[in-house]
Amino acid sequence: MKPSIPKGTRDFGPQEMLRRKYIFNTIERVFQKYGFLPLETPAMENLETLTGKYGEEGDRLIFKVLKRGASLYEEVGQSLLQNLNWKGLTDRDKSNDLMDLGRLAGTIHFTGLVKDIETKGVDMALRYDLTVPFARYVVQHQNELAFPFKRYQIQPVWRADRPQKGRYREFYQCDADMIGSNSLLNEVELVMLLDEAFTQLGLQVAIKLNNRKVLSGIAEVSGQPDKVVDIVTAIDKLDKIGREKVEEEMRAKGVSDAAIAGIAPLFELKGTWKEQHPQLEQWLASSTTAQEGLKELSFVFDTVGALKSASLEFDPTLARGLDYYTGAILEVKANEGTLQSSISGGGRYDDLTGVFGLKGMSGVGISFGADRIYDVLMETNKFPAELGGSTQLLFANFGEAEALQCLKLLRQVRDAGIAAELYPDKAKMAKQFKYADDKGIPYVAILGENELKQGIITVKDMKSGEQKAVKQNDLIHAIQQA
Amino acid sequence: MKPSIPKGTRDFGPQEMLRRKYIFNTIERVFQKYGFLPLETPAMENLETLTGKYGEEGDRLIFKVLKRGASLYEEVGQSLLQNLNWKGLTDRDKSNDLMDLGRLAGTIHFTGLVKDIETKGVDMALRYDLTVPFARYVVQHQNELAFPFKRYQIQPVWRADRPQKGRYREFYQCDADMIGSNSLLNEVELVMLLDEAFTQLGLQVAIKLNNRKVLSGIAEVSGQPDKVVDIVTAIDKLDKIGREKVEEEMRAKGVSDAAIAGIAPLFELKGTWKEQHPQLEQWLASSTTAQEGLKELSFVFDTVGALKSASLEFDPTLARGLDYYTGAILEVKANEGTLQSSISGGGRYDDLTGVFGLKGMSGVGISFGADRIYDVLMETNKFPAELGGSTQLLFANFGEAEALQCLKLLRQVRDAGIAAELYPDKAKMAKQFKYADDKGIPYVAILGENELKQGIITVKDMKSGEQKAVKQNDLIHAIQQA
């Protein structure tokens, strides 16, 4: 019976790890260059910190952690005993109580008991994302932090989702947020950051921008501002299902035909921000909310334009996590490879910390989808050949005397910053070469009896198969030159 | 009501994180230089992978994760219903069943029900250490791995321990292990690795070595080989409680006075390995196990000595995790600061993967205690002044036109590899300077109306308070020179 891991979770072996580290390190360096500082929060939060923050569906997807065995045992038992409330009761009464308990047990749901388990046996849960723990951290440490506070956080999160292709129960999030400043310069900085990160990863991307206030304005001028969520949820699917189905969905949600007709101009918009901007100005002139959104968009497009950076595109149908964002909405898609979904996203959310009692803190942030970036880099063959971190040189093992001399050279080679190792056992050369091959080690140093006597060492290039003998003192030079 | 985190868990804010990253990155670079490759395993393992691997006490300290709410709900309820087994029963029978259930409920322990919760409601648990998941990984992927397999792993683990000073419910382990080779060169490599890691961390340490076989030999020659665990558990406390109490404990565990007298020479041993070795040879001559252990120790001391590395010390009372190690036992203590406990440890364990069905795989590994290393580096003031990752330059914000020029310079500064940011709001200078101070940013660039006109920028050194104006084109040079 071979051991296994839970469905929806993954082991990351050496090769995958080196690739993942390349992605995370690249993004982390950019975060730091932009003034974001690292934060880590615990994997387990108090249950009450998480519940109610992700909607009803989200609550069901939170992994709950049992209190240590002993206390669960006692607490559930004692709670049941208290519920029975036997003190001072006659046997007859006790029997009735038992009947009640039994009736309860007789229903599949057994509500009371499950409640007991959850309230008495569980007080912690695994974090579901990095945003709520970040908000919790800011409120908890508000008196120690320098605002505006800029942090990045790269940690796994857990979701009790049904596992399927590309959807995991444990995955890393990779977020940068700033909180405590309303300035649109923050949005500009995030666009620059996204551009730099993907440039460094060597990936052609489109960075798309929209503003929640423009979406609200569209709902307003259509005459059904109360239907903004339904309208925008439908619009968000335009890419996938097309205009006809979008309008169908709006109709199904009770959006009037008049309102649907009122929204129609959105689907006719084409071209760059500069081309669409005047049309939107005119169309949404009656909505002050929309005007504010357009002004915000103008500032970001103009400023980014003046810096001649980033292929920033306007996408008036972009809506990501609508209930969440209140201003800018950002999304990144790869212009290479076949992946259709976004590889990064973000936006501004007013009142990030209000739920924990700290009002008036506006935040804006972005999140990199590491798993998807990994897939795109694999598909487009964009991972560097040299990922770093791998062994460069293997010393073959010919026995004790030779190995001792190898250990001395090994020390020198490592002091020169070259990752190297000695095969620990005196094994057949074929086996030792296979080890180097399997591990992707490019050079093998051979120091047998002859070499030992002559003070030389033979270096084999595993790719070309070429061998050349060098003086032991020249080994470092030979590897660095190769 | 201020939000909080669970007892025994921690937030790591920016300053702590930069220090922790310094420790982990230093150790990781050394791991890689020695040919270890990264591995990450999921936070949650199947419950059956973990149970029974850490002893009875350990099992109780494993955090169990509830299945997603919905299925717990149903599964526990259905299991109870099945237990009641109502089908085809008369009302009278049902009543009796209810009585049974009630009787069960009436005991505090409520064994059956808790069992149900645990078997039906729980199938995953949080990893307790990195060694068992490593063994599980090796067995699961045995056909894809190049043996001997060398991996490092730096990830948090969770224990449902009672939190107290220095004992956490979540903490990082930082392990390197090699598996699939019996060669003592592996032990030599680990000693070298420990030496290099602590040298790079700038910490004076003592690396201590012992061998489990010598400890077994001592129990043998004392005449009570069956008491080896009790004898060694007591000896292990010598440092803390002294010889008298150690002998008292042995006596309490049923070790005979004759055996205790037989062990006495151990406490008289003094000096270096070279001095103690002949005495041990003589004393333990009758135990072939001890002789084997001494031979292994000789090889490691001789080889490390020939490489003139590492202050490797012999400590015949060293026993760490006795039930676990079968050969070499390693421990590192700081020679600086006040911390008495070890900051790193390890050893060889034969048959690491046997429990998962793969026999004959010997492993040897070490583990760095990151939290303790952190404490020692803090106490001895050994963290570098420049941890890396922090912002070097803050552009003050004087309004829109000035900020736009700052953004252009910001881009250039970052392209030169300098971490920099722009204060996002036009705020009072005192507030902007305070932000730089709080965040430990050493330089502030001031570009007001005058500077904008003249094409210059004023750089303020936050430590000395000095200001000097430079041409905007010379800004990068000015910062790099400073």
Nearest to B40 among A12, A181, A183 (CB): A12
pLDDT band (50, 70, 90) for residue A310: low
B262/B408 same-domain check: no
* Interface check B89 vs A, CB under 8 A: no
Residues of A in contact with B306 (CB under 8 A): 404, 407-408
Residues of A in contact with B34 (CB under 8 A): 414, 419, 421
Residues of A in contact with B421 (CB under 8 A): 34-35, 150, 189
A359/A257 same-domain check: yes
Cβ contact (<8 Å) for B11 and A84? no
- Mean pLDDT in consecutive groups of 10 residues from the start of chain B, 482 residues: 92 96 97 97 96 86 76 47 48 51 40 53 90 97 94 97 90 97 96 96 96 94 91 87 93 94 92 95 96 98 86 91 84 94 94 92 96 97 88 96 95 95 96 95 96 96 95 94 82
Q: Please determine, for residue A320, whether its predicted confidence score (pLDDT) is greater than 50.
A: yes
Chain centre distance of CA A224: 35
Cβ contact (<8 Å) for B69 and A64? yes
Contacts of B109 (CB under 8 A, 6+ apart): A73, A74, A77
The answer to whether position A266 is within a domain reads: yes
pLDDT of residue A108: 27
Which of these, A366, A367, A364, lies nearest to A349 by C-alpha position?
A364
The answer to whether position B441 is within a domain reads: yes
Query: For A299-322, what is the mean pLDDT?
Result: 87
* Interface check A144 vs B, CB under 8 A: yes
Nearest to B69 among A60, A72, A178 (CB): A60
Cβ contact (<8 Å) for A17 and B35? no
Taking the CA of residue A428 and the nearest CA in chain B, the distance in Å comes to 14
The answer to whether position B8 is within a domain reads: no
Taking the CA of residue A368 and the nearest CA in chain B, the distance in Å comes to 19
Q: If you ran DSSP here, which 8-state letter would residue A44 be given?
A: E
Interface of A with B in 338-397 (CB under 8 A): 356-357, 389-391, 394, 397
Domain stop point among A76, A98, A123:
A123
* Interface check A137 vs B, CB under 8 A: yes
pLDDT of residue A96: 53
Nearest to B414 among A33, A38, A121 (CB): A33
Cβ contact (<8 Å) for A39 and B63? no
Query: For A382-388, what is the mean pLDDT?
Result: 89
The pTM (predicted TM-score) of the whole model is 0.90
A353/A271 same-domain check: yes
State the complex-level ipTM: 0.90
**CATH number, domain with residue B466:** 3.40.50.800
Mutate to test the interface with A, among B50, B96, B421 (most CBs of A within 10 A): B421
B362/B317 same-domain check: yes
* Interface check A252 vs B, CB under 8 A: no
Domain count of chain B? 3
A224/A102 same-domain check: no
Residues of A in contact with B158 (CB under 8 A): 43-44
The answer to whether position B355 is within a domain reads: yes
Residues of A in contact with B70 (CB under 8 A): 60
- Two tokens at A240? 């996938």
Percent of chain A predicted with pLDDT > 90: 74
B177/B301 same-domain check: yes
Query: For A406-435, what is the mean pLDDT?
Result: 96
Please spell the DSSP secondary structure of A95-144, one letter per residue: HHHHHHHHHHHHSSS-HHHHHHHHHHSEEEEE-S-SHHHHHHHHHHTTTT
Mutate to test the interface with A, among B108, B358, B392, B406 (most CBs of A within 10 A): B108
Nearest to A307 among B68, B106, B408 (CB): B408
B191/B321 same-domain check: yes
Nearest CA in chain A to B161: A68
Residues of B in contact with A4 (CB under 8 A): 46, 140
pLDDT of residue A115: 53
B224/B280 same-domain check: yes
Element (H, E) at A451: helix A449-454
B332/B401 same-domain check: no
Among A263-277, A400-414, B182-196, B321-335, the range scoring the smallest mean pLDDT is B321-335
Which of these, B25, B24, B82, B26, lies nearest to B370 by C-alpha position?
B24
| Residue A94 to residue B365: CA distance in whole angstroms | 60
| Residue B307 to residue B193: CA distance in whole angstroms | 13
- Two tokens at B448? 């007001």
pLDDT of residue A291: 97
Nearest CA in chain B to A7: B46
The answer to whether position A59 is within a domain reads: no
pLDDT of residue A385: 87
The answer to whether position A326 is within a domain reads: yes
Q: If you ran DSSP here, which 8-state letter would residue A43 be given?
A: S
Domain stop point among B104, B123, B142:
B123
* Interface check B402 vs A, CB under 8 A: no
A25/A117 same-domain check: no
Residues of B in contact with A139 (CB under 8 A): 2-3
**CATH number, domain with residue B34:** 3.30.930.10
**What is the 3-state secondary structure of chain B?**
CCCCCCCCCCCECHHHHHHHHHHHHHHHHHHHHCCCEECECCCEEEHHHHCCCCHHHHHHCCCEEECCHHHHHHHHHHHHHHHHCCCCCCHHHHHHHHHHHHHHHCCCCCHHHHHHHHHHCEEEEECCCCHHHHHHHHHHCCCCCCCCEEEEEEEEEECCCCCECCECCEEEEEEEEEECCCCCHHHHHHHHHHHHHHHHCCCCEEEEEEEHHHHHHHHHHCCCHHHHHHHHHHHCCHHHHHHHHHHHHHHHCCCCHHHHHHHCHHHHCCCCHHHHHHHHHHHCCCCHHHHHHHHHHHHHHHHHHHCCCCCEEECCCCCCCCCCCCCEEEEEEECCCCCCCCCEEEEEECCCCHHHCCCCCCEEEEEECHHHHHHHHHHCCCCCCCCCCCCCEEECCCCHHHHHHHHHHHHHHHHCCCCEEECCCCCCHHHHHHHHHHCCCCEEEECCHHHHHHCEEEEEECCCCCEEEEEHHHHHHHHHHC
B31/B97 same-domain check: no
A290/A340 same-domain check: yes
Mutate to test the interface with B, among A37, A84, A101, A433 (most CBs of B within 10 A): A37
Nearest to B407 among A43, A158, A188 (CB): A188
Taking the CA of residue B315 and the nearest CA in chain A, the distance in Å comes to 25
**What is the 3-state secondary structure of A309-355?**
CCCEEECCCCCCCCCCCCCEEEEEEECCCCCCCCCEEEEEECCCCHH
Which of these, B243, B196, B180, lies nearest to B344 by C-alpha position?
B196
Residues of A in contact with B139 (CB under 8 A): 2-3
| Domain with A91 in it | 64-123
The answer to whether position A139 is within a domain reads: yes
* Interface check B7 vs A, CB under 8 A: no
Nearest CA in chain B to A29: B389
- Two tokens at A20? 């993942």
Taking the CA of residue B458 and the nearest CA in chain A, the distance in Å comes to 20
In 10 A of CB B154, how many CB atoms? 21
* Interface check A89 vs B, CB under 8 A: no
Domain stop point among A328, A351, A379:
A379
The answer to whether position A58 is within a domain reads: no
